[in-house]
Amino acid sequence: MTRCPVTLHDIYLARARISGQAVRTPLVKSVSLSERFEAEVYLKLETLQPSGAFKLRGALNAIAALDETALARGVTTASTGNHGRAVAWAASRLGARAIICVSELVPANKVAAIEALGAEVRTVGRSQDDAFVEARWLVEDESMTLIEPFDDPLIVAGQGTIGLELMEDVPELDRVLIGLSGGGLLGGIGCAVRGINPRVQVTGISMMHGAAMIESLAAGHPVAVEEVETLADSLGGGIGLENHCTWPLVREVMSDHCQVSEHAIACAMVHFLETEKMLVEGAAVVGLAALEEHAIDIRGERVALIVSGNGVDMATWQRAKNMVDP
C-alpha cells in the first residue's frame, strides 16, 4: 500500500474551496476539564457546522471538485449518518441530486435529518458495507458519483482543515484527541498538525467493540469487523478491505490509540450536557471518555478534544443517562 497523497498544500486548497460554506468553528477552553486534568483543555466545536458535524468539510471539498457533468448526474454515498447528512447538505447547495444509502443501524433522527435536506435515503442491510453495495450499484447503473465517507484524498484534505484551525488558534498545542473510525478525520487532522509541528501527539479513540481501524492496524492490513450497536454510532462501520488512503495515513500520523467502554462514553455524554451545556453524540465525547477511563496524564499540556457532531436522539441520550444513573 502507498501513502495517501495528501499534503499540507492539499489541505490549504481544501480550505479555499470550502470557504464561505463550512464554518470556521470555535475552539473554546473548558474551565471544568482544565481544572480536573490540570491542563489547558480546549473543545473544537464541529457541532456548529451547518450539517451538525465535521463531515461537511470533506463532503463540500469532494463535491465542489466535480465538473458540471458529474454534478448533473448526482452523487451517492453510504453513511452511518453524519457523512450522509453532510453530502445531502453540500449537494443541495451545489445543485446536485443525492441518494444516501444507510444500514438499519443508523438512528432514525439521522435518517430524518438527511431527508429534510432533500436527499433520498435507501436503507439496506445491517452494516455500512451492505449500504455500500447499494451505493456502488447506483454508480454503475445511474452513473452517479460516489462520495467516499473517508477513503479519499479530497475527503481527508477537507477534514484536515480542522487541523489548520487548531494550530492557528493554539500554536503550542501538545496533543489532540480524535474519534477514530474510517480514519478520514484523524488522518486529515494528523496530517495538518504534524505537518506543522511533528511533536504534536495525535491520539485516536474508538469504542470497545467493532473498532475496524484499530483491528486492521493490529492485523497489519484492512480487515472486516462486525458492526455492533454503540452509543458512539458514528464510529461504526468498516474501513474497506481495499482501503488505499486512510489506513496507511492513520498508521503514519497517529501517535497512540485506545478503546473506551460504553459506560465511559455515557459518563462523558452526561458531563457534556450537565457541565459544558452541550447535547452531543457519543462519538463526539470519546476524547473525554479516554482521558477519564485510561487516566491519560495530560498535566501541564495544551490539549484539544474534537467535539465531532451533535446528531444524538433522545432515546440514545436517555440510554446513556441510565447507564450513569440507573
Q: Please report whether residue 2 resides in a domain.
A: no
List C-alpha distances in Å: 276 to 60, 245, 269, 271, 316.
29, 35, 10, 7, 19
Supply the pTM of this predicted model: 0.93
Could you give the residue numbers annotated as active site? 55, 308
Q: What is the pLDDT of residue 205?
A: 98
- Kindly state the average pLDDT of the residues 298-306: 98
Q: Please report whether residue 3 resides in a domain.
A: no
Same-domain pairing of 141 and 164: no
Domain end position, chosen among 118, 146, 174: 146
Give helix 212-219 / helix 246-253 axis angle, nearest 10°: 80
- Cα separation, 202 vs 188, whole angstroms: 11
Q: Give the model's confidence band at 3: pLDDT under 50 very low, under 70 low, under 90 confident, else very high.
A: low
Q: Please report whether residue 278 resides in a domain.
A: yes
Block residue for cell numbers 488558534: 169
Q: Please report whether residue 97 resides in a domain.
A: yes
Same-domain pairing of 166 and 282: yes
Task: Describe the strand order of the beta sheet including 201-207 as a list of residue ranges.
Answer: 27-29, 40-45, 302-307, 175-179, 201-207, 256-260
User: Which residues span the domain enclosing 309?
Assistant: 8-53+152-324
Same-domain pairing of 71 and 196: no
Q: Is the pLDDT of residue 171 over 50?
A: yes
40-45 and 27-29 as β-strands: parallel, antiparallel, unpaired?
A: antiparallel
Domain end position, chosen among 126, 146, 166: 146
Same-domain pairing of 170 and 36: yes
The helix or strand, by DSSP H or E, that contains position 178, with its residue range, turns out to be strand 175-179
- Kindly state the average pLDDT of the residues 1-24: 88
- Kindly state the average pLDDT of the residues 126-131: 85
Q: Is the pLDDT of residue 233 over 50?
A: yes
Q: What is the pLDDT of residue 72?
A: 95
All three cell numbers of 219, joined, read 492485523
Same-domain pairing of 103 and 171: no
Q: Is the pLDDT of residue 27 over 90?
A: yes
Q: Is the pLDDT of residue 129 over 90?
A: no
Same-domain pairing of 36 and 168: yes
CB 178 within 8 A of CB 204: yes
Residue 6's nearest CA partner among 176, 162, 195 is 195
Q: Is the pLDDT of residue 133 over 80?
A: yes
Domains held by the chain: number: 2
Q: Is the pLDDT of residue 13 over 50?
A: yes
Q: Please report whether residue 139 resides in a domain.
A: yes
Backbone conformation region of residue 95, classed left if phi is above 0, alpha if psi is from -120 to 50, else beta: left
Domain end position, chosen among 146, 174, 191: 146
Same-domain pairing of 122 and 191: no
pLDDT tens for each residue of 199-218: 999 999 999 999 999 999 99
Q: Please report whether residue 19 resides in a domain.
A: yes
**Dmax over Cα atoms in the chain, in whole Å?**
56
Same-domain pairing of 78 and 107: yes
Residue spans of alpha helices (H) in 126-222: 128-142, 153-169, 184-196, 212-219
Q: Please report whether residue 167 resides in a domain.
A: yes
Residue spans of alpha helices (H) in 19-152: 31-37, 55-64, 68-73, 82-94, 108-116, 128-142
Same-domain pairing of 137 and 160: no
Residue 178 maps to which CATH number? 3.40.50.1100
Same-domain pairing of 219 and 90: no
CB 147 within 8 A of CB 59: yes
Q: What is the pLDDT of residue 1?
A: 41
Q: What is the pLDDT of residue 4?
A: 62
Same-domain pairing of 126 and 230: no
Coil/strand/helix, residue 302:
strand
Coil/strand/helix, residue 195:
helix
Residue 311's nearest CA partner among 269, 285, 279 is 279
Q: What is the pLDDT of residue 153?
A: 96
Same-domain pairing of 83 and 222: no
Q: Please report whether residue 109 resides in a domain.
A: yes
pLDDT tens for each residue of 239-255: 989 999 999 999 999 99
